[in-house]
Amino acid sequence: MRADLDRLMAERDLQALIVTGGEQPNTLRAWICNGIDIHGGMVVKPKGQPATLIVTSMEIEEAKKSGLAVLTLDDFNFSEALKQVEGDRARAQTILWGRIIERFAIAPGKIGVYGTGDIHVWIERSRLLAEHYPQHPVVGENGLTLFDIAMRTKDADEIAIIQQIAQQTNEVLQATWDFIAGHRAEGESVVKADGSPLTVGDVKRFIRRELLDRELECPSMIFAQGRDAGFPHSRGTESDPLQLGQPIVFDLFPQTMGGGYCHDVTRTWSIGYARPQVQQMYDQVMTAFQRAVDAFEEAGQPAHTLQDAALDCLEGYGHPTQRSHPGTQVGYVHSLGHGIGLNIHERPSLHHLVKEDVLEQGNVITIEPGVYYPEQGIGVRVEDSFIVDAGGALVSITPFRKDLVLPLRG
């Protein structure tokens, strides 16, 4: 939570935190600005003081929505600096840095710089700033960062938003189920009223409209049938006609349009009927899911213990896994899950080799075991999102039913 920042900064001997980037979506900047990402803005948080947002004068109105104190580049005479160096923005930025250090009275010591931005710029800029301001070394973090730690526990406001997006996502799942169910079969194909095939693209267009009506988006949603389902990150093929009896992996991870908190859910559907082999694998994945959930006993527990339970279960059924066969492209090929928030992938990690993450109150995580056999045209995954609530209980926020077979009514 944001309240943890001063302590985390102190542990890292930081005199100030700067969160910056460019116009790209920037989740760390959005998070420290109370959910509002102001493109191009820079946040300065000196040790023990509240954060200030610095923007161009054109962004003032948008910046105020963050609730932070707002300053503009004009407050630092940036135009004059730019003129002084004949339009050389790189040198003007260096001058600006010095004025920021002065204005916020940042004591000699490390300045931590975080955010999403141009790698090529910051490789050079960190060197330039080190030369010009040797009393204020610019440092980053590689590995588990203070933002990873602070963002993995959500405050009550964030939980409320996350619950709302979960509820809206559930509505979209129901609407999608009903949409498909309202069609009829011709032979092994699912068809529209006019007899033309219902395609993956048709379904995705339907889902996007449902998301749009709720001001949500999920550009990279997965709706992958048959062999596509066997490749966990295949988004599916838009021209594919929907077929009876084929496993479909449907992974929906919407967030507020333009950036915001995420929900993450996967269901596997087989229209009309399920082949015995698919039904068996589905039952096995559902068992692994339940074993993982049941492995949670209390807050403070290492996160990998849930994955250990899922691995034991699926290896017991004879599936190759990341643990038994590192690098395998068939079987249970991925980790159990991850934290979610403003980013689709946050800490804690539920990978079997990540020993340092624990499950604690305020975490929002996914649990998503799956097995994949593309050459047999099979992929199965089941995923809910969970909150570790204030009482230390692991609670699913994804109520949508986990039925495999989707019967047609049309």
Residues 6+ apart with CB under 8 A from 358: 299, 300, 301, 302, 303, 348
Q: Which of 38, 207, 21 is nearest to 122 (CA)?
A: 21
Residues 368 and 382 sit within 8 Å (Cβ to Cβ): yes
The answer to whether residue 182 forms part of the interface with a copy of itself (CB under 8 A) is: no
φ and ψ at 146, to 5 degrees? -65, -30
The answer to whether residue 401 forms part of the interface with a copy of itself (CB under 8 A) is: no
Kindly calculate the radius of gyration of the chain based on its CA atoms and give it in whole angstroms.
Answer: 24
The answer to whether residue 83 forms part of the interface with a copy of itself (CB under 8 A) is: yes
**HSE-up of residue 287 (Cα within 13 Å, Cβ side):** 13
* 200-229 binders of a copy of itself (CB under 8 A): 205, 208-209, 212-213, 217, 219-220, 228
Task: Considering only the stretches 84-92, 264-272, 307-315, 380-388, report the one whose residues sit in contact with a copy of itself under the rule CB under 8 A.
Answer: 84-92
The answer to whether residue 333 forms part of the interface with a copy of itself (CB under 8 A) is: yes
Residues 348 and 359 sit within 8 Å (Cβ to Cβ): yes
- Residues 21, 117: Cα–Cα separation, whole Å: 4
Q: Which stretches within 185-303 are classed as H helix?
A: 200-213, 276-294
Place of tokens 């939570």: 1
Q: Which two tokens stand for residue 53?
A: 């947002």
The answer to whether residue 123 forms part of the interface with a copy of itself (CB under 8 A) is: yes
Compute the least distance from the CB of residue 33 to a copy of itself, in Å.
15
Task: Considering only the stretches 3-11, 192-200, 339-347, 401-409, report the one whose residues sit in contact with a copy of itself under the rule CB under 8 A.
Answer: 339-347
- Residues 147, 356: Cα–Cα separation, whole Å: 16
* 52-71 binders of a copy of itself (CB under 8 A): 57-62
Nearer to a copy of itself by C-beta: 7 or 355?
355
Nearer to a copy of itself by C-beta: 78 or 400?
78
Nearer to a copy of itself by C-beta: 72 or 170?
72
Among 49, 126, 290, 361, binds a copy of itself (CB under 8 A): 126
- Residues 7, 13: Cα–Cα separation, whole Å: 10
Among 10, 48, 90, 160, binds a copy of itself (CB under 8 A): 90
The answer to whether residue 335 forms part of the interface with a copy of itself (CB under 8 A) is: no
Compute the least distance from the CB of residue 189 to a copy of itself, in Å.
24
Among 80, 157, 178, 188, binds a copy of itself (CB under 8 A): 80
- Residues 349, 365: Cα–Cα separation, whole Å: 9
β-pair type (247-252, 216-217): unpaired
Binding-site size for a copy of itself (CB under 8 A) equals 73
Among 1, 8, 69, 139, binds a copy of itself (CB under 8 A): 139
The answer to whether residue 321 forms part of the interface with a copy of itself (CB under 8 A) is: no
Among 50, 195, 318, 327, binds a copy of itself (CB under 8 A): 327
The answer to whether residue 396 forms part of the interface with a copy of itself (CB under 8 A) is: no
The answer to whether residue 172 forms part of the interface with a copy of itself (CB under 8 A) is: no
Compute the least distance from the CB of residue 276 to a copy of itself, in Å.
27
**Residue 334: Cβ-neighbour burial (10 angstroms; 0-12, 13-18, 19+):** middle
* 255-274 binders of a copy of itself (CB under 8 A): 257-259
Among 50, 131, 134, 143, binds a copy of itself (CB under 8 A): 143
The SS3 call for residue 225 is strand
Among 33, 51, 138, 309, binds a copy of itself (CB under 8 A): 138
Nearer to a copy of itself by C-beta: 40 or 46?
40
Helix axes 276-294, 304-316, angle to 10 degrees: 150
* 343-382 binders of a copy of itself (CB under 8 A): 343-345, 353-355
β-pair type (265-271, 405-406): parallel
